[in-house]
Structure formats: structure tokens, C-alpha cells
Chains A and B, each alone.
Chain A
Amino acid sequence: MTRSTLNTFRLYATGKKTVPLTVEKYPGFQRDDKYKKLTSTDVDYFRSIVGDTGLIYQNEDDLEAFNTDWMNKFRGQSQLVLKPKTTQQVSDILKYCNEQKIAVVPQGGNTGLVGGSVPLFDEVVVSLQGMNQIRSFDDVSGILTADAGCVLESLDNWLGEKGFMMPLDLGAKGSCHIGGNLATNAGGLRLVRYGSLHGTVLGIEAVLPDGTILDSMSTLRKDNTGYDLKQLFIGSEGTIGIITGISILTPRRPSAIHVALLGVDSFEDVQKAFKQSRIQLSEILSAFEYYDNNAFQIFKKHNDARSIMDNEYPFYVLIETSGSNKDHDEEKLNTYLEDMMTDGIAQDGVVAQDESQSKRIWGVREGLTEALGKEPAVYKYDISMPVSKINDCVLEMRDHLEQGGAFGKPDSPVIDVVGYGHVGDGNLHLNIPAKSADPRVLELIEPFLFEWVSKQKGSISAEHGLGISKNQYLSYSKSESMIKLMKTFKSVLDPNGILNPYKYLPTK
């Protein structure tokens, strides 16, 4: 590995973004020549739709943010970014692109973790950031309709004033768009309580690749009339339509939230704690997260955080309850926590006494991804499997890397293998920080990990999606006939293949 390539990954140390182009870093991508190369006529036409302020053309500095993903892992070569302000503009854009066979990448908050939100070649980026209006809200039913470009945290704050909340929460909330959340079927920290977007989304407004505006913005809680098309768009990662509006059922903001952190000795104890929480906390449980001490050490490396507990433990469990009655919830939680201590499942624990403490406890769990991002290189995997297998995955990966000569010695390229995640949902965020991006390490990890997950009948991408990171491995989690049917849908809705090419479905 040459010095210059090493430097490209020391992004935080040098401060200058010299992210290599995705197509140079990952050879094997070929620009499909069926897609038109932009001409000035095309740009003028787009200008007539969105106006001078609605596009960025050939300005490298301004284009950089749209061409590069949040982790600085992927960079595309788009020359044009369009920022429509209305659904009609999106429709006009796509209609033209479909006729001219111009490839398009829809983009929300650009916080995706699988390279799905940035171009590979010269695809035109259609950014939804100009469409950020809340359309309506019914405070009896809690049904919210909004533009797809609304930032999740802004929506949550707006709803908070009215006593409601968004039914999902994730670390990227300050930047991600609700449209992007839908396109990736984002899960997040509260799925265990509020369920997935497939349940909370009531309606979608989307623009199909040929420009047709599909208005499915129902605000009805119950409507069994025909195929539920919106479900196809949720999790479609911008490959069969651009989502421009959403209608979502929002729950009431709980008046009583409690946060506790437990230190436990083994993963068996993590599972026991979870099983008991289902029994004793059941309807008030709103989050059940875990992280191992290895992940916590990386966090400590990059944060000045004061310790929450006196000692360190092999595993930590973060429990949050949400309910409408503080006294009832406190009693349930205290009984549960006491039982955890007396039964020896928890070795120690802490209960937040005020909001600041709650924020700090959550801050550790929510800050793990960012801390890992500050390591010279990190291989990130988001997988789901039976809960009992989660820690086995971490241990076996460590073992495998050690046997492969990549881990365990002072000069090994791999720094550690750490695990954390939504243990309540069987979702592990497996992270492998390394001293540099070493292809030998990648070869050891993939496809070993995917084969392992496949054996557990798990998912190679629990919530992050496929993008360009995992699309070629789809067969590890879905059968041939399913993939074939998916490709059929894609070809029916996007016959020219203009939306987000090279991604999502396997290209072979």
C-alpha cells in the first residue's frame, strides 16, 4: 500500500477530503454506454425547470458534497445536481431523463452507509433538499403529511411541540431526510417499540421513472383496496421511483421516559436481560441496545466522556422505557432492575436521574458509529440473525481474522472486531476497525461473513440496505426466484433503467 493511498484514508487527520473515486477504488464497474452523456441542451432544459438557483453544474467544489457519501468512502463523478422544489418539477425532470436515457441518482440527506445515495459515474443527482415543507397534521389521529426532503429531527421537533413524535429515530437524524428513510426502510433505535416503516407509513407520493406522479398520499389508517403499492417503494432505495411526499402515523410523545444502563458479564446475560425485559417491561419498553466493551474502548479513544459506571464490563445493555405515567413506569423499571441485580444478571447499573444524564448515556451508544469512523479504516457490517448468535458472530470473525494472520499481533492490520446494535431486533452492527484499508483484510471478511450469515438464515443487510456495497451478495439472503421477480418489477417500472443504476440488485 503506497503512502499516497494510505493518506487518502487519513481523512480526519489531514482535514482535506481526498476521497478516491469509487470506480478507481473498486475496479469492476463499467459505465453503461446506453446512458446519454450530458449536453448543454440538456442542462438548459433542466435550467428551464428548476431555475438558475435550482442546479449546480460543473462547479467541482459545490458538487463535492453531492458526489461523496457521509463516510467519505464513495465518490462519484456527477457534473450536475438538480434541486427541484415541487413534485411537478421532479416529474418533468424524470420524464425528460427517461426520454433521453439520462441516468439519475435520487438523493436525500446523503447519510446512507452503503453507497446508494451517490453516483458512480456521471449520473445526474436529483436532490430532494429543496422540498422540505410539512404539508398537514391532524392532532387527533396523529397523521402527518410532509415533503420527502424534511429532515427527520426537524419533523420530530415540530411534532414535539404538539405532543407527538416520529416513530423512528437513528443516529443520522440531524441530517437524514424522511424520504430517504422511507427509500431505505430505515429501522433505528425505536423499532422494537414502534415497528417498521412498513407499518407506520400510510401513504406515499412518488414520481415514477417515466415522470408519472403516483399520488398514494392516503391519510387513512385502514384501506384494503387493491395491491398496496407503497410497500414496494419503501426500501426500494430510489430504483423504481423518487419519493416526493409521505403520509405517516405518528405516536404520542411519551410523558415518562426512563433510561438505564447495565453492565453485564456475558452475552447470555444480555439475552436473559432482554427476555426478562419483555416480560416485566413489555408495553413500556422503547429501546433495548447492547454494545461490547471493545466498542466502548474505541468510543473512549475519541471522546472525553466521563465514565458512567465505576468498573468496566464485557457487555453493556441500554434500556429505555416510554409511557404515559411516570410512577407506574418507574415502579416497573425499578422492579425489573432490582431483579436483574439480585439474580446476578446485571453486575452493576445506572439509572438516569435527569435529561442530561439520559442524553449522556444515549450519547455513548449513538456515538459509537462516529468514533469508529475516526479510526484510519473501518469495515462496517449490518446483519441480522437469531439473537443468540449475535456474539458468536463477533467471536468467530475475530477467530477467523486471527487465523488469517490479520489480527492478534501488534503489527496486525486489524485493530479489533467490535459489536453493538439493536439486540432486541436481532440486528448486529459488526465493525472491524483497521490501521488501513487492506484488500487482504477485505478478502478475509467477505464472503466469509455473508456465508456465515446465510448459514444462520440471517440477512446480510438488516437495515442499511444494499446500495453498491452489498447488491452483489443478495443471493446470500434471497433465493434466485425472488431475485428474478425483483428484476422483473424493476424492468416493468423502469424499462430504461435510469434510476440509480449499478445498485440494489445484483448486476450479474
Chain B
Amino acid sequence: MSNPLRIFVPVKRVVDFAVKVRVNPAKTDVDRNVKHSMNPFDEIAVEEAVRIKEAKKAEKKEVEVVAISCGTAKAQETLRTALAMGADRAVHVEVKDDATLQPLAVAKLLKAFTDKEEKKPDLFILGKQAIDDDANQTGQMLAGLLNWPQTTFASKVTIENEALKVTREIDGGLETLETKIPAIITTDLRLNEPRYASLPNIMKAKKKPLVKITPEDLGIDVSPRIQTIKVEEPAKREGGRKVESVDELVDKLKNEAKVL
């Protein structure tokens, strides 16, 4: 672990969680002309990084939190939010069209950035998945490319000297892993509750450095490997009905719902 501990937090600008998503008339994508904000799992990642920084400060250990986002110029809004939450500096990898930017490309960009950076990261904390594509791939692919250990779906993170202890939420319950730093962590919902961006911090954020680079600078081809052919709304849910008897229920299950 270098001094200071460097935590990189990739963040993604997505359609806001509260927005009702609609398919566009061409049926090729969703309507992106709506409110956007930081992916909720990425908010949790930023929050965790800032909390580690605050905890280590008490131990007189320095931590640097770097927020990174790959996307169009609008991604800078998301980076400003990260800075307002407590990140120290931000990096914007500007891409012309981020609707086709896929997890593998993002993982490659992050790996190339890591290789290029003089001040190497010790930890990547990522959201477990983005709420627009629900891919749940970037963290894992990045771990593969960097050949670092990965601790995904974290619900608790502790750093003691060189060791990283992470509790993961799995189907059977909770699993605790211990590994060495550098490593990848992806955040799950119960890891923490992100803070609000306070005014003093929003003001401080304006003075924090935000650097812009391009995929060309990093030598990465971000063209998509997967093509979306069609986007459709799910079938409309039909109203439920009341039945008068068990026989009627069986009849309907057999002949209408066709599940028997």
C-alpha cells in the first residue's frame, strides 16, 4: 500500500432512478431525453471511498479519492457530484456517443488509464451494476484485465494495514473474504447510505481538478462488440380477476393462462 492510499471510483451517468423509462418511437433505445443522475450504486461507491478517507484521516493516514467517468461532455455533471461528495480530483474520459459504450470497453479504458497513471491506484471501488444496462460486468472484467483480486457485492468493507476484508451478500447469506491490496470492490445496496452534497462541499468542488482525456490518448478502441437490435416494452400486465370456485380456477389456469 503506497502512501497515500489511492482509491479510484468509476462513476456512470444514467437515467435517474425515479424516472419512468419509455421506449423511443424507433424502438432502438429508451428515450434518453429525461433527467439523468449518478448511478445509485456508484453513489454508494463514492460514499464508501470518502468514508475510508475520513476514517484513515483519524489515523493520520492519507487517502486520495479519484472519480472517473467515461462518457459524453455531460458526464462532467456526475463527476462534479462525486467531487461534491468528497472526491479529491476527477478524470473525464470523453467519448462521442456513450449510448454504445459497453462494459468491456470501459474496463479496457480503466486498465489503460491505470497503466498510464504515474500514481497507481490501490483500490477500485465500483458500483456492482449500472441501473440502465444491469450488466454487472465492468468490475469483474477490470479485475481480469488487471489481474487483481475481486470482492463483489460488498456490504461491508474494512481495510487493516495491507489487508482488505470484505463481507459479500450472496444467495446463501453473507460471505467474508480477506485479500491483499491492490484489489477491486463492487458495491451492493446495503454497504452504506450516500451523503447529500452539502453547499460548502459543492463550493469546494469547483476548485478541485477535473482532467479530460480521450480513448485515443489511451490507445483504446471503444467500438461496441454487441449490437442492440430492438428495444421493446414488456407485455402489459393484465388485471387480475376473481373466480367463484376452485373448478373455475383450474379451468382458467388450464385454458387461459395455460400453465397447467
Minimum distance in angstroms from A312 CB to a CB of chain B = 14
Q: Contacts A351-B196, A352-B196 given; 9 further ones with Cβ under 8 A?
A: A262-B199, A349-B199, A350-B196, A351-B199, A354-B16, A354-B17, A354-B18, A354-B40, A359-B18
Q: Which residues of B contact A356 (CB under 8 A)?
A: 17-18, 40
Q: Which of A50-58, A334-342, A498-506 contacts B (4 or more CB under 8 A)?
A: A334-342
A334 touches B202 (CB 8 A): yes
Tell me if A508 counts as interface (CB < 8 A to partner B). no
8 Å CB contacts to B: which residues of A342-387? 346, 348-357, 359
* B202, A355: Cβ atoms closer than 8 Å: no
A486 at the interface (CB under 8 A from B): no
A267 to B198, CA, bound (A): 21
- Which residues of B are found within 8 Å of A306, using beta-carbon distances? 193
User: A309 within 8 Å of B by Cβ?
Assistant: yes
A349 pairs with B38, CB closer than 8 A: no
Checking A255, A310, A338, A357 against B203 with a beta-carbon cut-off of 8 angstroms, the contacting residue is A338
| A353 partner, pick from B19, B38, B203, beta carbons under 8 A | B38
The answer, yes or no, to whether B112 is at the interface (CB within 8 Å) is no
The digit string for A144-172, where 1 denotes a CB below 8 A from any CB of B, is 00000000000000000000000000000
Q: Is A308 close to B, CB under 8 A?
A: yes
Given contacts A306-B193, A353-B37, A353-B38, are A346 and B18 in contact (CB under 8 A)? no
Which one of A340, A346, A353, A355 lies within 8 Å of B197 (CB-CB)? A353
The answer on a CB contact under 8 Å between A337 and B202 is yes
A-B contact pairs, 11 of them (CB 8 A): A337-B202, A338-B203, A348-B198, A349-B199, A350-B196, A351-B196, A351-B199, A354-B37, A356-B40, A357-B196, A359-B18
Give min CB distance, B77 to chain A, whole Å. Answer: 8
Mark contacts of A224-263 with chain B using CB atoms, 8 A cut-off: 1 yes-contact digit, 0 otherwise: 0000000000000000000000000000000100001010
A-B contact count (CB 8 A): 58
- Smallest CB–CB gap between B11 and chain A, Å? 11
Q: Which B residues are in CB contact (< 8 Å) with A338?
A: 199, 203
Chain A residue contacts of B200, Cβ below 8 A: 341, 348
Q: Is B61 an interface residue (CB 8 A)?
A: no
Taking the closest CB of chain A, its distance from the CB of B193, in whole angstroms, is 6
Within 207-247 of B, Cβ neighbours of A (below 8 Å) are at: none
Beta-carbon nearest neighbor of A360 in chain B: B196
CB contacts under 8 Å to B, within A175-231, are none
- CB neighbours (8 Å) of B37 from chain A are 353-355
- Interfacial residues of chain B within 84-105, with CB under 8 A of chain A in the complex: 84
B57 within 8 Å of A (CB atoms): no
Interfacial chain A residues near B203, Cβ < 8 Å: 338, 341
- Which residues of chain B are near A351, meaning CB under 8 Å? 84, 196-197, 199, 202
Given the complex, which residues of B lie within 8 Å of A262, measured CB to CB? 199
B81 is an interface residue with CB less than 8 A from chain A: yes
Instruction: Point out the residues of chain B lying under 8 angstroms from A348, CB to CB.
Output: 198-200
B37 nearest in chain A by CB position:
A354
Chain A residues in the interface with B (C-beta under 8 A): 255, 260, 262, 306, 308-310, 334, 337-338, 340-341, 346, 348-357, 359
Number of B residues, CB within 8 Å of A:
19
Interface members, chain B 9-49 (any A CB < 8 Å): 16-19, 35, 37-38, 40, 43
Residues of B within 8 A of A349 (CB): 198-199
Q: Is B198 in contact with A309, judged by CB distance below 8 angstroms?
A: yes
Contact residues in B for A352 (Cβ distance below 8 Å): 196
User: Chain A residues with Cβ under 8 A from B197's Cβ?
Assistant: 350-351, 353
Contacts of A359 in B (CB 8 A): 18
B22 to chain A minimum Cβ distance, whole angstroms, is: 9
The one of B35, B43, B81, B196 that contacts A355, using a Cβ cutoff of 8 Å:
B35
Contacting residues, chain B, for A310 (C-beta < 8 A): 198
Closest to A359 in B: B18
Residues of A within 8 A of B18 (CB): 354-356, 359
Contact code string B179-203 (vs A, CB < 8 Å = 1, else 0):
0000000000000010011111011
Minimum CB–CB distance for A163 against chain B, Å: 11
Kindly identify which residue among B43, B193, B199 contacts A341, using a CB–CB cutoff of 8 Å: B199
Q: B35 — which chain A residues lie within 8 A by C-beta?
A: 255, 355
Of all chain B residues, the one with the shortest Cβ separation from A160 is: B20
CA distance A352 to B81 in the complex (A): 10
Distance A205 CA – B197 CA, assembled complex (angstroms):
48
CA distance A193 to B35 in the complex (A): 21
B78 to chain A, nearest CB (A): 9
Q: In the complex the two chains form, what is the Cα distance from A255 to B35 in whole Å?
A: 8
List of A residues within 8 angstroms of B40 by Cβ: 354, 356
Which of B16, B197, B199 gathers the greatest number of chain A CB atoms within 10 Å? B199
A349-B203 Cα distance, complex, nearest whole Å: 11
Nearest chain-A residue to B33 (Cβ)? A255
> Distance (Å) between the CB of A150 and the closest chain B CB?
20
Q: What's the nearest-Cβ distance from chain A to residue B13, in Å?
A: 11
- The winner among B37, B196, B202 for most chain A CB atoms within 10 A is B196
What 1/0 flags go to B121-154 for Cβ under 8 Å of A? 0000000000000000000000000000000000
**Least distance between B33 CB and chain A CB atoms (Å):** 8
CB distance from A128 to the nearest CB of B (A): 25
CB distance from A210 to the nearest CB of B (A): 42
Cβ B199 vs Cβ A350 within 8 A: yes
Q: Which of B17, B40, B198 has the most CB of A within 10 A?
A: B198
How many angstroms from the CA of A355 to the CA of B199 in the assembled complex?
A: 18
| Bound Cα distance A338, B201 (Å) | 11
Interfacial chain B residues near A308, Cβ < 8 Å: 196
The distance in angstroms between the C-alpha atoms of A306 and B199, with both chains bound, is 18
In B37-78, the 8 Å CB interface with A consists of 37-38, 40, 43
**A355 CA / B34 CA spacing, docked (Å):** 12
* Cα–Cα, bound, A306→B47 (Å): 15
The answer to whether residues A355 and B198 also contact, given A306-B193, A338-B203, A341-B203 and a CB cut-off of 8 A, is no
The CA of A356 and the CA of B81, in the complex, are separated in Å by 15
A337 to B199, CA, bound (A): 7
Q: How far is the CA of A346 from the CA of B123 in the complex (A)?
A: 37
**Given A306-B193, A359-B18, CB of A353 within 8 Å of CB of B199:** no
- Separation of A505 and B40 alpha carbons in the complex (Å): 54
CA distance A359 to B38 in the complex (A): 16
The minimal Cβ–Cβ distance linking A259 to chain B, given in whole angstroms, is 11
Out of A255, A337, A350, A353, name the residue touching B81 (CB < 8 Å): A353
A346 touches B199 (CB 8 A): yes
A337 — which chain B residues lie within 8 A by C-beta? 199, 202
Residue numbers in B under 8 Å from A334 (CB-CB)? 202
Tell me the minimal C-beta distance from B57 to chain A in angstroms. Answer: 16
A441 to B40, CA, bound (A): 49
